[in-house]
């Protein structure tokens, strides 16, 4: 629901009757996750959370409405890069934009992420405006891709 804040331990909230864009926030740092969740909830996004890459995969296996993933790199059990590798390897999740949260000086991680098809990188610490701009850009690109796919389908059918 718009404006609702979801605690870090809530992975799959109730259905999204308002149709707000669904964002999966993945971070093992509860305070960092809470800050992102509050910001995005206030901006009209429907938030789902996961504490690590493994939980993120579980969430994405059970939902097909996630529009963007905002994911930290360093997490227990499965890192953000490992989760990206799994997501890009599945047809169902390969096109979901991933915004990876990294340290600005972490060139090796950024390089590995680019090879895995990470959509955007955001250096910690980041501003609210940076995060919103990146999410909105990815939502816009995803919508354009959907429009192109519909146009192709229409051309092939007609």
Are 39 and 135 within 8 A, CB to CB? no
Q: Which helix (H) or strand (E) holds 140?
A: helix 128-157
- What does the pLDDT look like over 139-152, one tens digit per residue? 999 999 989 989 98
In this predicted structure, the answer to whether residue 21 has a pLDDT above a threshold of 50 is yes
- Its CATH class, for the domain covering 22-157, is alpha beta
Instruction: Determine whether 6 is exposed, middle or buried from the number of CB atoms within 10 Å of its CB (0-12, 13-18, 19+).
Output: buried
What 3-state class would DSSP assign to 72? Answer: strand
Instruction: Detail the DSSP E strand segments found in 27-149.
Output: 46-50, 66-72, 98-103, 120-124
CA distances to 5, 21, 57, 78 from 26, in Å: 15, 16, 10, 11
Are 33 and 27 within 8 A, CB to CB? yes
pTM given for the model: 0.84
User: Residue 29, CB half-sphere, CA atoms under 13 Å: how many?
Assistant: 10
Domain locations in the chain? 22-157
Q: Which whole number is the average pLDDT over 26-54?
A: 93
- How far is Cα 62 from Cα 17, in angstroms, rounded to an integer? 17
- What does the pLDDT look like over 94-149, one tens digit per residue? 999 999 998 777 788 888 888 988 999 998 889 999 999 999 999 999 999 989 98
């Amino acid at each position: 629901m718009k404006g609702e804040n979801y605690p870090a331990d809530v992975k799959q909230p109730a259905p999204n009757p308002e149709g707000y864009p669904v964002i999966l926030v993945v971070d093992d740092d509860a305070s960092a996750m809470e800050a992102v969740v509050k910001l995005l909830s206030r901006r009209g996004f429907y938030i789902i959370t996961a504490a690590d890459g493994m939980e993120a995969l579980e969430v994405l296996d059970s939902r097909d409405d996630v529009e963007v993933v905002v994911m930290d790199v360093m997490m227990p059990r499965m890192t953000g890069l490992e989760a990206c590798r799994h997501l890009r390897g599945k047809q169902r999740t390969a096109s979901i934009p991933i915004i990876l949260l990294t340290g600005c000086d972490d060139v090796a991680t950024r390089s590995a992420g680019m090879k895995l098809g990470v959509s955007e990188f955001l250096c910690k610490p980041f501003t609210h405006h940076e995060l919103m701009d990146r999410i909105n850009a990815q939502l816009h690109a995803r919508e354009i891709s959907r429009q192109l796919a519909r146009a192709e389908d229409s051309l092939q059918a007609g």
